[in-house]
Amino acid sequence: MSITQAAGNIRTQQFGVDQQEYEQRLAAVRQHLTDRELDAIVLFYSPRIEYLTGFTHVSTERPMALVVPLDGDLGVLIPQLEQEHVRKSPLISHVKAYPEYPTGGTKHPMLHFADLLNEMGLDGKRLGVDRDGYADVNGYTGPSVSQVMETTVVEAPEVVDKPRQVKSSAEVALVRESAVWGNLAHRLLQDYMVVGRTEIETSLMATAEATQIMLKTLGRAYASHGRGIRNVPVSASFIAGSNTALPHGLRSEKGLMPGDAIITGAVANVGGYKSELERTMVVGEPTPEFRTYFDAMIAAQDAAFTAFRPGRTCAEVEADVVRAIEELGMKQHQRHHTGHGIGLEGHEQPFCDLGDDTVVEPGMVFSVEPGLYVPGVAGFRHSDTIVITADG
């Protein structure tokens, strides 16, 4: 069966999170507000806003913020150029749009934000924030929340981040669908790899074809929750040669050569959710040395699969993998942790770190990618996306 035929057999459906789930997320966040004795949470970080409302935006030097009170309507600070987009979100009813600053007015956006909080009756209340002010994006500078409001400000990103860690059945379905299309892109990437062809040429060919098949198959059901041509639905790429010995090696344009090691990466965006697929390969026959390190990397990943079980902490999972790598005599080649949460973001909490005591729970989704990096030889890393179940 051809790739196109296989893709055509994917059941077409609507991909996204329904209104009821957004309401459940808000209820969970409001329970956390009650537990923390907070009257509202202010969110500046785009993925947190998307998680609670489904509204996506491009973060620029223009500050945006969502206000979630303990009860009542949600509020949002937004530049006028985004106001038409935010009105599509039924959960947001109190919109404070400000003109371009300073060309459209001399009042700083954060002072408009103070007006919004006052209009929502939050003056003097205990405010949770994911950070005390808008981030340093595109050179933005401006006052913090505590500087524009005479109120108690408590940094509490966990109010939203904690519920995000355990995915609903709808979220898991979106990640699974993402994995289908990431796998397609990766297969195409392999098909287009030939000696002499550059990394960028190969990646563009595979990405373009995978995107065309994906959109043709899913049709109007497809939703990426992205903006513009920069957010392609699915992509695949790789680095080759000596650059693979660096965990985040830079692309080279010399073209594939016999004997080159290859580390790939494929990702797809379905309803805003991502998966991760990475593989280690070689052009031609692997040397005995390559096989040794490759087999050790596979053994480390297998140890990670075994280590992930509900009730254990992320630190315990990481400790098991570190121990397995040490027993393989490869400790000096380990340069990063085993994996991380994945969902609306490619990297999100929790993390498989020795210092992360988050308890692994059913419904959590992780990348599993313990890598080995050998200077003068190559890098070795597979990455798979897993969902935690009651059994492991």
Residue 383 — pLDDT band, cuts 50, 70, 90? Answer: very high
Count other C-beta atoms under 10 Å from residue 273's C-beta.
27
Mean pLDDT of 329-358: 97
pLDDT, residue 254, reads: 87
High-pLDDT (> 70) share of the chain, %: 94
Strand 92-98 to strand 74-79: parallel, antiparallel, or no bridges (unpaired)?
parallel
d(CA 357, CA 315): 6
CA distances from 96 to 63, 92, 119 (A): 12, 11, 10
Between the alpha carbon of residue 234 and those of residues 16, 66, 184, 223, 237, the distances in Å are 16, 29, 9, 12, 11
pLDDT, mean of residues 387-391: 96
Q: What angle, rounded to 10 degrees, do the helices at 158-165 and 19-36 form?
A: 130
Residue 89 CA to residue 66 CA, distance in Å, equals: 12
Could you report the per-residue pLDDT of 85-110, keeping only the tens digit for each? 787 777 888 999 999 998 888 999 99
| Mean pLDDT, residues 153-171 taken together | 97
Mean pLDDT of 20-28: 95
CA 297/CA 380 separation, integer angstroms:
6
Place of tokens 């509020």: 75
Q: What is the pTM (predicted TM-score) of this model? A: 0.92
Q: For the chain, give the longest Cα–Cα distance.
A: 70
Strand partners, 277: 266
CA–CA separation, 309 vs 336, rounded Å? 21
Check whether 7 has a pLDDT greater than 60: no
For residue 300, pLDDT over 70 is answered with yes
- CA–CA separation, 119 and 153 (whole Å): 18
> What digits encode the pLDDT tens for the residues 232-279?
899 999 999 999 999 988 888 889 999 999 999 999 999 999 999 999
Residue 229 pLDDT > 90: no
- pLDDT higher than 60, residue 8: no
Q: How far is CA 206 from the centre of its chain?
A: 22
Mean pLDDT of 292-321: 98
Average pLDDT, the chain: 92
Question: Which pLDDT value is given to residue 231?
Answer: 74
